[in-house]
């Protein structure tokens, strides 16, 4: 998201130490989840100086003017259970905001947001003119106060949907003396062999893998779901009656690219039951696809399995499996 620093966050406390020769902070994971398992990196800092957008690999996991890194949860249901946001490095809290509601952003929300794109958030000053900013926290969850000293790992609040946010995530921004810095490529990027090569060593204390896209979730349902339901989570059924009106397998994807192929397949207890391929026709941050059948007769009871595979340039980029028990009752 585009970040416009509010006045309260610009009223920073004095620097913690002289800036001369200060090393950049080594950043701990700023969210209490495991990337690739129960969260993932949705967007990176935009390195394209023009109207286009490119992440530090020249990939599309960003958008024009995006000034930080987005750690996304798998669903709104996960957000409601509570996922902590953590300080990435030692420092002093320079400003906070709380009280903005958690709501999916639409253009109709712009007057209410009124430039407060970050939503509920925390700004932390570190040595040498470095700051980190943490955005889109859940209303009422901010757990620190201006002037408070924090260590790496200090809980700051919970992931929410406040501000200009269309999915539950933490947006963390890193700056030095007001300039945006990408912790994956702190010295920028250079073109190399038709792609991009990051300059400078990543600033993460523990390396974070770059995933150019993948499957977020999949599941079975007795009807075709709406996109909003899939994004909210909790839709997958682990059992259905034999007289279910339909059997539908859906898959939720991030980082789709033009030309990707999404394969969906359902296998009955004793044989393949249904499969379908979808060729994706544009780059898209998030999407879902579904396949299934309306049923005129009861299904044979047993365990039905589903598989989704995201294929890019002939290689399987990501895959997930799931199952539903068809009950005899």
- Per DSSP, the residues of 83-128 read -EEE-SSSEEEEEEE---------GGGHHHHTT-TT-EEEEEE-GG
Is 191 found in the same domain as 46? yes
Phi/psi at 139 (nearest 5 deg)? -60, 135
Is 146 found in the same domain as 21? yes
- DSSP letters for 153-183: T-EEEEB---SS-SSSEEEEEEEETTEE-BT
Cβ contacts of residue 192 below 8 Å, gap of 6+? none
Contact present, 216 and 236 (Cβ < 8 Å): no
Contact present, 220 and 240 (Cβ < 8 Å): yes
Is 143 found in the same domain as 41? yes
Is 175 found in the same domain as 86? yes
pTM of the model: 0.89
Is 224 found in the same domain as 177? no
Is 223 found in the same domain as 171? no
**Tell me, what's the pLDDT at 11?**
34
Is 227 found in the same domain as 183? no
129 inside domain: yes
Contact present, 252 and 232 (Cβ < 8 Å): no
Q: Which of 263, 249, 248, 329 is closest to 295 using CA atoms? A: 248
Measured in residues, the chain has a length of 329
The pLDDT tens digits along the chain (329 residues) read 444 444 344 333 344 444 444 689 999 999 999 999 999 999 999 999 889 999 999 899 999 999 999 999 999 999 999 999 999 999 999 999 999 999 988 888 888 888 899 999 999 999 999 999 999 999 999 999 999 999 999 999 999 999 999 999 999 999 999 999 999 999 988 765 556 778 889 999 999 999 999 999 999 999 999 999 999 999 899 999 999 999 999 999 999 999 999 999 999 999 999 999 999 999 999 999 999 999 999 999 999 999 999 999 999 999 999 999 999 98
301 inside domain: yes
Is 236 found in the same domain as 177? no
Is 166 found in the same domain as 97? yes
Is 263 found in the same domain as 188? no
**Tell me, what's the pLDDT at 189?**
83
Where does a domain end: 171, 198, 225? 198
Where does a domain end: 138, 164, 198? 198
Is 260 found in the same domain as 163? no
Q: Considering its fold, how many domains does the chain have in total?
A: 2
**Tell me, what's the pLDDT at 8?**
40
126 inside domain: yes
Is 141 found in the same domain as 114? yes
71 inside domain: yes
Q: Which domain holds residue 307?
A: 214-327
**Tell me, what's the pLDDT at 191?**
66
209 inside domain: no
């Amino acid at each position: 998201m585009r970040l416009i620093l509010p006045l309260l966050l610009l009223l920073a406390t004095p620097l913690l130490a002289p800036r001369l020769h200060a090393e950049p902070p080594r950043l701990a994971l700023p969210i209490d989840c495991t990337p690739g398992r129960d969260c993932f990196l949705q967007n990176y800092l935009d390195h394209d100086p023009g109207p286009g957008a490119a992440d530090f690999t020249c990939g599309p996991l960003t958008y024009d003017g995006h000034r930080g890194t987005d750690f996304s949860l798998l669903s709104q249901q996960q957000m409601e259970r509570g996922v902590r946001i953590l300080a990435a490095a030692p420092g002093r809290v320079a400003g906070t905001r709380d009280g903005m509601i958690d709501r999916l952003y639409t253009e109709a929300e712009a007057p209410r947001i009124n430039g407060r794109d970050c939503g509920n958030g925390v700004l932390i000053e570190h040595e040498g003119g470095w700051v980190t900013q943490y955005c889109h926290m859940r209303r009422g969850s901010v757990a620190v106060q201006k002037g408070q000293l924090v260590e790496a790992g200090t809980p700051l609040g919970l992931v929410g949907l406040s501000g200009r946010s269309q999915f539950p995530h933490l947006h963390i921004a890193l700056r030095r003396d007001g300039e945006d810095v990408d912790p994956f490529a702190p010295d920028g990027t250079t073109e190399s062999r038709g792609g991009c090569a990051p300059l400078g060593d990543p600033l993460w204390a523990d390396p974070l893998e770059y995933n150019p896209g993948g499957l977020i979730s999949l599941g079975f349902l007795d009807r075709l779901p709406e996109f909003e339901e899939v994004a909210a989570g909790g839709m997958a059924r682990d059992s259905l009656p034999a007289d279910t009106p339909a059997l539908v397998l859906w898959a939720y994807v991030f980082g789709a690219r033009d030309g990707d192929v999404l394969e969906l397949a359902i296998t009955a207890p004793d044989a393949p039951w249904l499969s379908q391929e979808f060729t994706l026709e544009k780059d898209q941050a998030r999407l879902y696809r579904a396949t299934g059948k309306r049923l005129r007769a009861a299904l044979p009871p047993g365990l039905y399995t589903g598989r989704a595979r995201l294929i890019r340039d002939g290689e399987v980029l990501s895959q997930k499996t799931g199952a539903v028990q068809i009950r005899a009752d």
